[in-house]
Structure 1
Amino acid sequence: MHVPDGFINAPTSAATGVIAAGAIAVSLRGARKELDERTAPLAGLVAAFIFAVQMLNFPVAAGTSGHLLGGALAAILVGPFTGILCVSVVLLMQGILFADGGLTALGVNITNMAIVTVIVAYALFRGLVKLLPRTRRSVTAASFAAALISVPAAALSFTLMYAVGGTTEVPIGKVATAMVGVHLLIGIGEAVITALTVGAVIAVRPDLVYGARGLTQKLKLRVNGELVDAPDARPEPSAPARASHRKVWAVGLATSLVLAGFVSYYASADPDGLEKVAGDHGIDKKAEEHGTADSPLADYGVKDVDDARLSGGLAGVIGVGVTVVAGTGVFWVVRRRRSDDTSPSETSSTTSTSSTSSTTGV
C-alpha cells in the first residue's frame, strides 16, 4: 500500500506529514517506557523482519497481490509507540533507497501504514486479550484478529485522504469499495503472518512479546486468612536467559536475510492492492516519477547486476542490513535517553532513602 507521488495533492500530503511528524515525536517519548532490556534489542530486528516480509508479495485474487503492512506485528511484539517507529524506519528506508513509496507521500504512507495500523490493531488486541482467557493461545488469536482488521482500516484511511486531496476525479464510493474489498483479502495474509510470528516468539521466549506481558497468574499468599497477590519479583536476567535472547535475535536476523535474499525471488509479480485499484479506476493518472528512481537499489534490484535472482537477493540483503542498523541505532538512542532521564530520579530516591535511614538511626 505504498502510495507514490502524485496520488494525493500537496496540501493534503503536507498535512499528513505534520500528523506523521507529531506521531513520531510522541512515539519517541512513549518508546522510552517500552524499550527495556527485552524490547530494545528486539526492536531493530522487528523493523528488519518487516522490511524482509514486505518483499514477499502473495497472490490474493486474479492479477492482484498483497504484502505485510506490519503495524500489528510490531505493536504486539515491542509495544505501540515502538511499533510506530519500527514501521516508520522501514518506510523511510524503502522510500530513500528503494524508490518504494513517494518522498512527498512519506507522511501519507506513515499515517496509513504505521499510525493507523498500529492504533487500530493494538486497541483491538488489548480489548480481545482482556476478554479472552489469559493464555498464550489467546494472544495468538487476538493478534490474528487485530492484524486482519488493521489492513482494511489503512485502506479506509487512504480512501479518506483521497476524498480530501485526490488528484484525479474518481467517485469516492468506487474507491472505498475497491480498496476495502481487496484489502480484506490482504488482511487475511497479514493476520496469518502476524499470528505465526507472534506464536513462534511466544513458544520460545514469551517474555519478549510486549503484548503477552502480565498474562501469567499472580502467585497468591495467605495473609491473616485472606489470599493476596504476592509482590512481583524482578530478578536480573540469568546467563541462560541472555543467551536465549541472543539466540532469538540471531535466528530472527537469519530468517530475515533468507526471506529477503532468497525467498523474495519467488514472490508474486502482480500489482499490490493499491496499484491494482489505482490502475483499474484511474487514480494513477497523475502519478509522478519517484525522486530516487535512479537509485542503485531502485525497485529492489542492484544496478548493473544483470542476473535478476542475484540482483534482487543482494538488494534484499542490503535492505535488511541497513534497516536493522538504522533501527537499532534509533532505539539505542531512545533507550539511552530513558536511562539518562531515570538516573537523576533514581539518584534522588537513593539519597532520600539514605537520609531517612540516617535520621531514623539518630
Structure 2
Amino acid sequence: MAGEQDAVRGEAEHLTDHPESGQRLHERDRELDSATRSLDRLCHEFEAGGTEIGEVLLFSGPAGNGKTSVLDELRRMAGLRRGCTFLSGRGGERQTKEPFHVLRQLLLPVLGGMTEAERAEVFGDWYSIVGPAIGLKPPNDEMEPLDPQGIRDGLTHVITQLAPRRAPLVMVVDDLHWADLESLAWLASFAGQARYLPVLLVFAYRDEFVEEASAHHQQIESQASRKHLLRPLTPESVALCSAGRSSARRPRTCSAVRSGPSPRASRSTPTPCCARSASRAWPRSRTPPRSCATWPPPPRAWTRPTGRANSGSAPCGSPRPPR
C-alpha cells in the first residue's frame, strides 16, 4: 500500500505562481477559452468570499483529438493562479475492475500529506471506512465487507471538508470512460454537488462507456455547465503538428537548414547543418560530405583494399566497408 501511495503521490500538488511558457493548441481556442473562463471565475469568486461557486466542465471526442493536451494546458494555467490546488486522476484500461482506482489517484496525494490532526478534522468518523478504500490504511481482516454506498457517503463528507481547506480546488479526471465503476459512481453523484463547493470538476473521455457505466455517464453529462466535443483537426493543422513533431524529434539534421543570414552562407545557398557539423569534426584525411544525401557513398563505391581480402580493415583515409 505504501508503494502505491508513493506511485501516485505527486499527481496532486498545492500550486503557487511559477510562470511557464505554454503553447497554444491548434484549433482548440474555444476549449481553452472555456477552461480559462471557468478557472478565472472559480478563483476570482473565491477571493471575493464565494463558496457555492463550483461547476462541471466536460471534454469528449475520439482518441487523438487533443483532450489530454487541453487538460495539460488547464494544469499549467492553474499553476499560474495563486493558491490553487490541482488534483488529477486517470482511468486505465487494465484497471477497470479495480475498485476505487481512480479515486485513489485523485485523493490519496492530498489526503496522505495531511497531519494527523488535520486528517481527523477532515474525516471525522469516516476514517475507518474511507481510509482503506483510498489506500490510507490497510483493510482490517476482522471487519465485515464494506458497503460501497457507505464508502461513497464517507467520500462525500471528506470532500466537503477538504474543498474549503484547499480551495480553489480543481479536480480533473482523464479517460473517464475507463474509470472503475466504484469511482465513476461516486464522481457521478458528486457532480451534482460540486456547484455548492469551491470546486471545478473537469472530465475528459471518449464515448466508449460500457453498458454498466452508461447511467453514470448520463448523470455526469446532465450536471455539466459546459460540454465540448473536440472535432478532428483540419488537414492544414495536422500538417503543422506533424512538421512540429518531426523537427522536435530530429535535433539537427539536413532537413533543417538556416533560414536567416549567415556570415558564411547567403539566403540563396543555405548550408545543411549536418555538413557544417561534419566539416568541423570530420578527419582531415577524409573529405567532408556536402549533405546527408551524398554520404555514405553508394554501394559500388565501397572497395576492399588489395591484399587484405580477409582482414576486414581499410587503409587510413578510406571509408570502412559495410559488414
TM-score after normalising by structure 2? 0.33
Between structures 1 and 2, the one with greater helix share: 1
Between structures 1 and 2, the one with greater strand share: 2
TM-score after normalising by structure 1? 0.30
Q: Is the radius of gyration larger for structure 1 or structure 2?
A: 2
Higher RCO (CA-CA < 8 Å; seq separation 6+): 1
